[in-house]
Amino acid sequence: MYRLFVGNMSSQISERKLRKMLEPFGVVESVRMMKGRATGLPVACGFVDMLDERAALRAIMGLNGKKIDGRQLKVRLGF
């Protein structure tokens, strides 16, 4: 399994929307949006687990730098 970090997201992006954005690149095992400690509200980043390396690399190439909801996404391997 390969974990991706997705950052600089709009507050309009939900876990469901993030999953739908990544599914065209391969099998998405899980999606987890980060939440602020004090507020409990989603912040501008999350982690996505993809089934295989090729899917993860396709997602990085396809989405890194892409503008979605007025924000330029940052997608890279997460650890």
- The string of DSSP letters for 11-71 reads TT--HHHHHHHHGGGS-EEEEEEEE-TTT--EEEEEEEEESSHHHHHHHHHHHTT-EETTE
Q: What is the pLDDT of residue 37?
A: 86
Domain containing residue 26:
2-77
Q: Are 36 and 43 contacting, i.e. CB atoms less than 8 angstroms apart?
A: yes
| CATH number assigned to the domain comprising residue 15 | 3.30.70.330
The kind and range of the H/E element at 77 are strand 74-77
The average confidence (pLDDT) of the chain is 93
Q: How far apart are CA 13 and CA 66, in angstroms?
A: 14
Residue % of the chain over a pLDDT of 70: 100
Residue 35's pLDDT band, with cuts at 50, 70 and 90, is: confident
The answer to whether residue 11 scores a pLDDT higher than 80 is: yes
- What are 15-27's pLDDT values in tens digits? 999 999 999 999 9
How many separate domains does the chain show? 1
Q: What is the pTM of this model?
A: 0.89
